[in-house]
């Protein structure tokens, strides 16, 4: 009796999933033939939800609280979930994203944003650029789903366009510095330099400058209907180049952004390369509250990053070559507390990079802000045996012209109130 009931449940579930997949395929082929606004939003929702799921799965240790790399909560008022509740939260976020692919209802959106907000409050290291961008894109789609009029569909498209425009514009501007021109671009290009040694004799800094113009210029081109297709193809080419350089055929670096690159290629195509629609609303002038909020966050607030007021990752500064970084030096006694896989990252002087530690344990980059490095360091201070057993070094944002950084040094007693 029980096996027959189980079989019936499994078959019923499979039948339901096949029916939903059939609906998705029909809508996809309809989109390919003649994409309407609703079809473009449908495709964007599927792309972003699947990309988001991929990123979270790849960086799953980042979303679990039971780990050695310390959490960096927004404040002491935030409750930190212990096992197994942290895993339940992780699974809940993934489940709701999967449901949104097939069933985009307002209460599913509300549940997703509630769980995601709680996860982000518990650890600022989760404020990765791809999390930030995906979340606001899903927010634009949710706005349309809760206001299902055609004009709101156009507004949702405009919001997504602004997110993409701001991302590429500021990502290009952030790279206008010495380190990117003379170091980071060459590092990014290293797989090609190894495969084609003749490239090493070429003016790589000039190519670095061209790459900046391509990215920022592509973002500007997306802002105008006459140039959006050109900008879209240029940026798709850029993403393909980046994926080749850091992907499985290149450096095999930062795997969590691999699906982000693929997702954004498809997203650019669905939003900017579809059939022209004369009813599209203006993307640069706010049409509703959410549209105005997106303009402020993605186009205006990154200006404050120059003054150090707005965070680097919230200003599209990934791979800019200009991010702060932290190092920690420990005694042999403290070193023994670290997991074996982390110990391999220590140098001969018992020092290690917080960024490498994050990549090794969390499968994602650290959140490059001095306050985060101090929080991580404070959590390690409980292992010290004497006053100067641990040392934190923070290297700030590099000078745009010389590439030099200011170095600050901290001990536990300086960061922990007595």
- How far from 239 is each of 56, 275, 320, 405, CA to CA, in Å? 20, 22, 15, 30
Tell me the per-residue pLDDT of 269-320, one tens digit each, with 9 for 90 and over.
989 987 665 556 678 888 888 999 999 999 999 999 988 899 999 999 988 9
CA distance linking residue 92 with residue 63, whole number of Å:
11
- Model confidence at 2: pLDDT above 70: no
- How far from 393 is each of 184, 318, 325, 357, CA to CA, in Å? 21, 21, 8, 15
- The rounded percent of the chain whose pLDDT value lies above 70 is 88
Tell me the per-residue pLDDT of 92-145, one tens digit each, with 9 for 90 and over.
999 999 999 988 888 999 999 999 999 999 999 999 999 999 999 999 999 877
Q: What angle do CA 256, 260, 261 make, to 5 degrees?
A: 115
Q: Which residue has the tokens 């699906």?
A: 259
Higher pLDDT, 38 or 162: 162
Q: How many CB atoms lie within 10 A of CB 417?
A: 4
CA distance linking residue 369 with residue 394, whole number of Å:
9
3-state class (DSSP) for residue 411: strand
Residues in the chain: 418
For the chain, how are helix, strand and coil distributed in percent, rounded to 5? 65, 5, 30
- Model confidence at 349: pLDDT above 50: yes
Domain ranges (residues) in the chain: 1-33, 149-322, 325-415
Q: Which of 369, 416, 338 is nearest to 68 (CA)?
A: 338
- Model confidence at 185: pLDDT above 80: yes
**Would you give the distance in Å from CA 382 to the centre of its chain?**
31
CA distance linking residue 318 with residue 210, whole number of Å:
18
Q: At what angle do helices 37-58 and 150-174 cross, to 10 degrees?
A: 50
Token pair for 301: 């607030």
Q: What is the DSSP string of 119-148?
A: HHHH-GGG--HHHHHHHHHHHHHHHHHHS-
- Model confidence at 35: pLDDT above 70: no
Q: How many CB atoms lie within 10 A of CB 281?
A: 19
Token pair for 344: 């391999």
């Amino acid at each position: 009796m029980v096996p027959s009931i189980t079989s019936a449940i499994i078959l019923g579930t499979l039948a339901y999933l096949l029916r939903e997949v059939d609906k998705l395929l029909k809508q996809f082929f309809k989109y390919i033939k003649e994409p309407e606004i609703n079809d473009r939003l449908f495709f964007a929702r599927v792309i972003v939800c699947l990309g988001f799921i991929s990123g979270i799965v790849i960086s799953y240790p980042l979303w679990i609280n039971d780990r050695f790399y310390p959490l960096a909560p927004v404040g002491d008022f935030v409750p930190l979930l212990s096992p197994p509740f942290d895993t339940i939260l992780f699974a809940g976020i993934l489940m709701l994203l999967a449901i949104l692919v097939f069933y985009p209802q307002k209460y599913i959106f509300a549940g997703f944003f509630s769980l995601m907000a709680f996860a982000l409050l518990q650890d600022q290291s989760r404020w990765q650029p791809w999390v930030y961008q995906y979340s606001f894109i899903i927010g634009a789609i949710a706005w349309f789903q809760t206001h299902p009029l055609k004009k709101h569909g156009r507004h949702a498209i405009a919001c997504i366009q602004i997110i993409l425009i701001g991302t590429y514009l500021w990502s290009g501007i952030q790279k206008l510095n010495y380190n990117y021109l003379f170091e980071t671009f060459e590092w990014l290009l290293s797989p090609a330099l190894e495969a084609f040694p003749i490239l090493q004799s070429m003016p790589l800094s000039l190519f670095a400058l061209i790459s900046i113009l391509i990215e920022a210029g592509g973002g500007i081109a997306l802002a105008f209907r006459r140039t959006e297709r050109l900008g879209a193809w240029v940026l798709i080419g850029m993403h393909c180049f980046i994926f080749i350089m850091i992907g499985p055929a290149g450096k095999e670096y930062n795997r969590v952004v691999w699906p982000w690159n693929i997702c954004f290629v498809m997203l650019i195509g669905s939003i900017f390369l579809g059939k022209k629609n004369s009813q599209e609303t203006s993307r640069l002038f706010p049409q509703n509250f959410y549209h105005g909020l997106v303009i402020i966050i993605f186009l205006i607030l990154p200006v404050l990053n120059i003054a150090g007021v707005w965070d680097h990752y919230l200003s599209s500064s990934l791979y800019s070559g200009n991010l702060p970084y932290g190092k920690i030096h420990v005694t042999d006694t403290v070193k023994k507390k670290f997991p074996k896989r982390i110990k391999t990252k220590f140098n001969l002087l018992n020092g290690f990079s917080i960024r490498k530690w994050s990549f090794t344990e969390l499968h994602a980059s650290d959140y490059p802000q001095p306050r985060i490095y101090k929080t991580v360091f404070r959590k390690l201070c409980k292992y010290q045996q004497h006053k100067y057993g641990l040392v934190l070094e923070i290297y700030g944002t590099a000078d745009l012209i010389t590439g030099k950084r200011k170095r600050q040094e901290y001990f536990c007693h300086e960061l922990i109130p007595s």
